[in-house]
Amino acid sequence: MTARGITGVAGVEGIALKERIIQAASKIFVEEGYQSLSMRRVAQEAGCSQMAMYRHFDNKEALTQHICAQLYTRFATKITREIEGIEGPWERLRRFSAALIRFAVSYPDHYALIFLVRHSDPVVLADRERLGQEFLAGIHDIVAALLPQETPAPAIEMKLRQMMCCLHGTAALLIAHPKAYSLTKQKAIEDSEATLRSLFG
């Protein structure tokens, strides 16, 4: 939910407050995790009342999803630019898989909320699905380039799903149970690459 009916100086102040709220929430989220994030805590950090916050965000979930969407968009933009400059579909896929693992390690709460948690809010779901589809369109092209030209579309989609299952599964284990599976960031990257080589071999 955005601020309602504000223009001129009030509108500028509303935008500035919204940015302060987002920055405060992002700081708490990144440094302390999702469990430490609350509307009251964010209001204190942003220097505003909780009522002022609710003019911009309906609840904690809406605020969190906004933060995650921003981070996901930046991640998708960054990795898309990186792999666009790489020749060869395999090297592009390898760079992508490593970047996804590093993202999971650097932002475990963000990663879990973006990729592993299903929310009840249909607006949140629709926005997340849109972001995912836009991002995966480029990865789909890389997968297609690694397969024979005559590969039918359903088979390409299956390979893409298998690849993402491998990456998300490895990332989830690295976040939640690294010691049980003897995983480090580097080991997770190497394991994922080995699995992808087998998948596209």
Same-domain check for residues 37 and 68: no
Taking only the tens of pLDDT, the chain with its 201 residues reads 444 444 443 454 567 888 899 999 988 887 888 888 899 999 999 999 999 999 898 888 888 888 877 877 888 888 888 888 888 999 999 999 999 999 899 888 878 877 776 666 677 677 777 877 888 888 999 999 999 999 999 999 999 999 999 999 999 999 999 999 999 999 999 999 999 999 998
Tell whether 34 and 108 lie within a shared domain: no
Please tell me the total count of domains within the chain. 2
Query: Within 13 A of 99's CA, how many CA atoms are on the CB side?
Result: 18
Asked if 38 and 87 sit in the same domain, the reply is no
CA–CA dist 133, 153 (Å, integer): 16
The boundaries of the domain holding residue 121 are 64-199
- Is residue 108 located within the same domain as residue 160? yes
- The alpha carbon dihedral of 116, 121, 125, 127 has a sign of negative
Based on the fold, state whether residues 114 and 148 are members of the same structural domain. yes
**Per-residue pLDDT, 114:** 75
The alpha-helical segments, DSSP class H, found in the chain are 8-32, 39-46, 50-54, 60-84, 89-106, 108-111, 122-146, 153-176, 185-199
CATH of the domain at 112: 1.10.357.10
Give yes or no for a contact between 189 and 98, defined as CB atoms under 8 angstroms apart.
Answer: yes
Q: Which of 28, 5, 17, 201 is nearest to 109 (CA)?
A: 28
CATH number at residue 40: 1.10.10.60
Taking the C-alpha atoms of residue 97 and residue 173, their distance in angstroms, rounded to an integer, is 15
- Non-local CB neighbours of 154 within 8 Å, separated by 6+ positions: none
Distance CA 30, CA 23 (A): 10
Give pLDDT, residue 121: 67
Last residue of a domain, one of 13, 30, 57: 57
